[in-house]
Structure 1
């Protein structure tokens, strides 16, 4: 990998989340200069868990931060499905050594803050001043020679390209394609991170557990070398009355929302200090992500429901493919079009898979004591699980052919 070349105009990135930082690090490691503009005054990620599947591990290896992230993570031995009220358990698939054997890379769970910090450190190791904080992006203009990013402060920045990695409420997307606002998706989530000493002993396992039930589901898995337990409980809801998309709730509210669920779920809820409730939002898909020297990345262009554990992985994949395209092609607009063509079908196929899981995880048949287990047997059979996941895990963003390479 190369150091950046400051003689060329930098690639401008709006947003210093996981996707934006992955793109910045991938570009820097390929010799391209970058500047990242982040509206927050401090770099902080929400304290929650993230699942890194083998496709994500490959990206982190390409970015040079895999060991740093794994050092503070938990290797996952497997995943399982449990029935919401009885606790009946089905093994979904083995991971650990089996994931390495089948896919070449491990599956692990990480504290989102630790993943974010590793990416920040990687970027700053190559360019200490790459990330500009307190820099809210307000607009942009492009011409045949470059892009001018306008900041809310009145300052401007000039670059060869602009990458909108500014999330589901993306300013870049709105300026490119209009104001199709994110809307409430009739689903909310309770989120918390629990000190492991408060978790019942029999639940302290390096396993990702997914409780499925009528109208909702619960996911929990360990974080930070087993020091923490990540808890997320999803429920279908109509209307969202909070002023913010996330707001602090109480354990009593959360327990009431999961009334009737197995005592293992209730025990986890009782161990929470102060859960947060989040409104899950959706945006319609885009036919195109790119216009000239400006393109989108991650949630800005393919936000998905958090039901396939791929949001962070897919955003990081975007970053590596984008960097590969810009590295090999001096025609920036052509490179961005190549990036979009390389990513569009895969990203939206994963978006569709996350949407399909709503009916799978929340199916009303799960309320029936006979049909519920039969439904799980059908939907989580080995062949169906492999068909849903193997193609995701096998992907390598660092080597996947780009369009003209595929035809060569």
Structure 2
């Protein structure tokens, strides 16, 4: 395999958040980067992202924070509230306090805005983004990998699969394996603030916890939109698309009787997408010769810590910087060794939060939330200890 100090051509498969962050980081390290995207147009789903301080430190290091600020909304608190009464189980300050504690802000951004800024930054750094490029196969060669596309074959020193939970690169590397349905389905949508009647939605990152269901609400685009994600438990789900349109009447019915801040948001919603929350077993390896994986392709995240995009962004920083410092094989080994414990811990926290938000265990589940309420009031260090390991982590300060 080639040495990093020689001219290097890298192909990244997937022009999502993780793939573009990686491409930008690699370009800043001096690599020639091509991004292969199977879609015929660059776009992102109309949904929100919570960019916690650990992700913001990476985006800041890449010079994107100033451009993103104009698109962002800074929530005042991170909250867990009761689905009916609206009472607070947790109300932890964000804003300036989170900057003081973790050294970076906590912002809400529209996924499309972050994607657009990444695309622009990639073009400014001479990254080639090539659309309608569907990868069908790859083969490790003596000094790189040959990549089979529809109608042609390309070659690269390195091939990196950042192509999501349904990753073709992972499938080619490790074989076909169906995703594991978690028993939960999520609805998502955005609503203009001026379309919401009768209530004032609080300017917070809010989880509304209820029996076997929960809803997340927060502002986007400087306060012009409200983003929601509504999760319910189901016995089965056969569709795998992120873009399956749901029936908003069905959505409203499933969450009827909830707090007015929730029901009024859903009443103003004109369309919603619905998708299954899937997971995958821990992979036996992330790399194969000149090929490695990134983000949901190797460690899909449930959304209950709002860390899916953040973990892909962290992956991208670590991998780009390791490739800039040593041999490719060593970089791949170090990348997995550094990232796997981190993402596995976040995956576990996300699974635990699913039970908390859905009051699993009936009365016991409600008592856990009440205990959290007491801890947040009288022993905030307990709450901070959980969040510090997530938000306080700084990949930009690691010795790579």
Query: Shorter-normalised TM-score: what interval?
Result: over 0.9
TM-score, normalised to structure 1's length? 0.92
Alpha-carbon displacement from aligned partner over 1:262-303 (angstroms, at most 9, x marks no partner): 222111110101112111111111132112211110000010
Pairing partner for 1:360 from 356, 360, 364:
356
Match of 1:405 in 2: none
More displaced stretch, 176-185 vs 374-383: 374-383
CA distance in 2, matches of 1:370, 1:398: 39
Alignment of 1:1-400 (within 5 A): 8-127=7-126, 130-151=128-149, 153-200=150-197, 202-242=199-239, 244=241, 246-329=243-326, 331-364=327-360, 371=367, 374-377=370-373, 382-400=380-398
Question: How far did residue 401 of structure 1 move?
Answer: 2.4
What is the count of residue pairs matched by the alignment?
395
CA distance in 2, matches of 1:347, 1:122: 26
CA distance in 1, matches of 2:386, 2:304: 12
Question: How far did residue 376 of structure 1 move?
Answer: 4.2
Distance 1:260 1:201, change over 3 A: closer
CA distance in 2, matches of 1:369, 1:126: 50
Segments of 5+ residues of structure 2 without an aligned counterpart are none
Contact 1:199 1:268 in 2 (8 A): yes
Alpha-carbon displacement from aligned partner over 1:221-270 (angstroms, at most 9, x marks no partner): 00001110001100111111447454212221011111332222111110
Distance 1:83 1:148, change over 3 A: same
More displaced stretch, 299-308 vs 235-244: 235-244
Contact 1:212 1:366 in 2 (8 A): no
Alpha-carbon displacement from aligned partner over 1:49-101 (angstroms, at most 9, x marks no partner): 00000011101011111111121110122111110111112443111110111
Alpha-carbon displacement from aligned partner over 1:315-361 (angstroms, at most 9, x marks no partner): 011111001110001x2122111111111110111111111111111
TM-score, normalised to structure 2's length? 0.93
Segments of 5+ residues of structure 1 without an aligned counterpart are 403-408
Contact 2:359 2:365 in 1 (8 A): no
- Give SS of 1:187's match: strand
Contact 1:213 1:364 in 2 (8 A): no
More displaced stretch, 237-246 vs 226-235: 237-246
Distance 1:370 1:20, change over 3 A: closer
Contact 1:6 1:33 in 2 (8 A): no
CA distance in 2, matches of 1:396, 1:186: 33
Alpha-carbon displacement from aligned partner over 1:116-172 (angstroms, at most 9, x marks no partner): 1111111001115x1000001111111231111111x22222111111101000111
CA distance in 1, matches of 2:368, 2:99: 33
CA distance in 2, matches of 1:18, 1:262: 33
More displaced stretch, 383-392 vs 217-226: 383-392
More displaced stretch, 332-341 vs 304-313: 332-341
Contact 1:365 1:372 in 2 (8 A): no
More displaced stretch, 81-90 vs 293-302: 81-90
- Give SS of 1:74's match: coil
CA distance in 2, matches of 1:253, 1:96: 36
RMSD, aligned CA? 2.1
